Amino acid sequence: MSYANLLGYTGWESIIESVQSLPVQLTGDFLQWAILFFVLAIIAAAVGARGIAGVSMEIARIFILIFLVLAIISLLL
């Protein structure tokens, strides 16, 4: 019997409760996600899916900006 079942949580309630209890950590994963979405955008553009390519590039751009802001803040602190 799992810990969630002992508390009376079932299904989605236990998943939501476990996710809400996780600490928020800002790691260096933003750059990895940006590279992933950039590669996805290039592949999508190569096969002709222009809409997916544009959205992927926009997501990659946002992740790179977040990464740069966090990198600058960590260098200053």
For the entire predicted model, the pTM comes to 0.51
pLDDT of residue 62 exceeding 80, the answer is yes
Instruction: Tell me the average pLDDT across 3-10.
Output: 54
Check residue 36 and give its pLDDT: 82
User: 14: buried, middle or exposed (CB in 10 Å: 19+, 13-18, 0-12)?
Assistant: middle
Check residue 53 and give its pLDDT: 82
Q: Which residues contact 2 (CB under 8 A, 6 or more apart)?
A: 14
For 20-54, the pLDDT digits (tens) are 555 545 556 767 777 888 888 888 888 887 788 88
